[in-house]
Amino acid sequence: MNRSLALVLVLHGAAGKLTAQAPRNPERLTAVLELERLGPKQPPKVRFEWRPVADAPVYLLKGTITDPKTWQVKAAQFLVTAANANEWTASRVSYVAPVNPGLHSWKLIALRSAEDAGDDKSAAVATFEVR
């Protein structure tokens, strides 16, 4: 039996706008740090969750991570589809991603396809720190 605890992190959401080029973005992005026993070299994991929107078979999670010691900023991104999501239902999508410690800022952008640019300006945003 796998037991794990979760800690809800500080979040900020932005409402999406409808455009002709891209589907409307989800209104809110939630990030939860999974507090399960990890090996010494395994990075922490964060579960991202949101309500799906119509006409979006793909989502782009696009993040920046700032190292609190060196202030070096790194970028990361994940394309989330029904095939690689941890949960994909009519009411919820969740995706678990390994993340490095640091100050995180993530955007969620709904896409029509993996090649679509989406609407970055109205993306839902989550910010948090992983220690």
CA-to-CA distance for 109 and 64, rounded, in angstroms? 14
pLDDT value at residue 37: 63
pLDDT number for residue 110: 96
pTM value? 0.80
| DSSP state letters, 16-80 | ----SSSPPPPS--EEEEEE----TTPPPEEEEEE---TT-SEEEEEEEEE-TTT--EEEEEEEE
pLDDT value at residue 40 = 76
User: Is 18 part of a structural domain of the chain?
Assistant: no
Choose between 41 and 122: higher pLDDT: 122
Bigger pLDDT: 118 or 39? 118
The CATH number covering residue 63 comes to: 2.60.40.10
Q: Is residue 34 part of a domain?
A: yes
Domain span including residue 29:
5-12+25-130
Query: Considering its fold, how many domains does the chain have in total?
Result: 1
Asked if residue 19 is part of any domain, the answer here is no
Whether 17 maps to a domain, the answer reads no
CB-hemisphere CA count at 13 Å for 51?
8
Q: pLDDT tens digits, residue range 6-27?
A: 333 434 444 444 445 567 999 9
Q: 3 falls in which pLDDT band (50, 70, 90)?
A: very low
- Per-residue pLDDT of 41-93, as tens digits, reads 788 999 999 999 998 999 999 999 999 899 999 999 999 999 999 999 999 99
Give domain status of residue 20, yes or no. no
Q: Which of 76, 77, 33, 25 is nearest to 50 (CA)?
A: 25
Q: What confidence category does residue 35 fall into, taking pLDDT thresholds of 50, 70 and 90? A: confident
Residue 56, both tokens = 């979006």
Q: Strand 93-98 and strand 45-50: pairing? A: antiparallel
At residue 81, what is the residue type?
T
